[in-house]
Copies of this chain bind each other. A is one copy, B any other.
Amino acid sequence: MYSFTCDYTEGAHPEILRALMETNMQQEPGYGEDSFCASARERIRQAIGCPDADIFFLVGGTQTNSTVIDGLPDGCQGVLAAQTGHIAVHEAGAIEFSGHKVLTLPQHQGKIDAEELKAWLKGFFADETYPHMVQPGMVYISFPTEYGTIYSRSELTAIGEVCKKYSLPLFIDGARLGYGLASPEADVTLMDVARFADVFYIGGTKVGALCGEAVVFPKGNSPKHFFTHIKMHGALLAKGRLLGIQFDTLFTNNLYSEISEHAIRMAMSVKKIFAEKGIPFYIDSPTNQQFPILTSEQMARLEGRIAFEVWEPLPDGRFVTRFATSWATTHEAVEALRQLIY
């Protein structure tokens, strides 16, 4: 049985476990003040080309989204996101829990459009009653999106310009950032992301780590008291070393990029397998999540041998499914899929 259900079905990249073993009895201070966090921060600053970046290590994605967005200075500010954005749908109200409304924009294969964003903002401020409504305080995008798609450089530039015009910080959710950047279609780099975003995070949980997301304020522009703010959100890990060691490992010898590239190679193989069998896709995804449309018969054939996620039923009886690869996906699993699907 091989599983493609998601990109967090295994533990951690072996290098990470090795590092945890080797450093295990080294005594270090808690709360992110350990030497591993310091080293990891330095490596990330170099990787993104921002020597002044503020970097904080949090544990998980929902937590990170909630903590960053609640860094907005006023509860009456909301966050603009695609209606399919993770924060709009799958976070159990974590954003609203901290008092902020998610203002939704139309989505195009999971992405927002700079022109629609601008139109929304223009319309908002054109309405005289706008002070009676939630104030736009931030723009949230995910890279790649929940549908595996990625923004191009020109799309990011356009969104960035709208944000600048309206003085809205741009927040890039990078829970799967590595997989987005490793895509053959990506025309931006990690340094570019750091230049476009006012705040973003480098996902660890889905890209080789046991847990962990590195929040980056590229220009040293973290809100005052952000450390306390993290603790208030229950997001401060006592043994911060667990996060420091992992990111230090991931940003040593290009490991983060390499394992992301592996996942993308596996995903492209999976994509090709489906395409060659004439199986259509719900969305043309260039990253580690593929969304083939399967018939019940096709799904039955995989049962008990290949696990995947059923995304949603289609009116014609077929199903949108999701096959995710990751740093841990084996050639063996991909070959098994090739044999079983037709």
Contacts and interface: CB of A to CB of B under 8 A. Distances in A.
Interface of A: 1-3, 5-6, 8-12, 14, 17, 20-21, 23-31, 59-64, 66-67, 70-71, 73-78, 89-94, 96-102, 129, 131-135, 205-206, 210-211, 223-225, 227-229, 231-239, 241-242, 307, 328
B17 A24 contact: yes
Contacts of A228: 74, 76, 92, 131-135
Contact of A233 (B102, B229, B234, B307): B234
Contacts of A59: 59-60, 211, 237
A94 B223 contact: no
Nearest to A9: B27
A299 to B, nearest CB: 15
17 contacts: A5-B29, A8-B239, A9-B29, A11-B241, A60-B234, A61-B238, A73-B224, A91-B232, A92-B132, A92-B134, A93-B232, A96-B101, A132-B231, A134-B228, A135-B228, A205-B238, A211-B237
B224 A238 contact: no
Given A11-B239, A76-B92, A134-B92, A232 B97 contact: yes
B232 A234 contact: no
B129 A75 contact: no
A8 B66 contact: no
A90 B11 contact: no
Contacts of A89: 133
A131 B93 CA distance: 11
A193 B33 CA distance: 34
Given A76-B232, A94-B234, A96-B99, A11 B25 contact: yes
Contacts of A9: 27-30
A135 B74 CA distance: 17
Nearest to A74: B225
Contacts of A61: 238
Contacts of A132: 31, 90-92, 228, 231
A5 B14 CA distance: 31
A23 B11 contact: yes
Given A27-B3, A239-B211, A66 B225 contact: no
A273 to B, nearest CB: 19
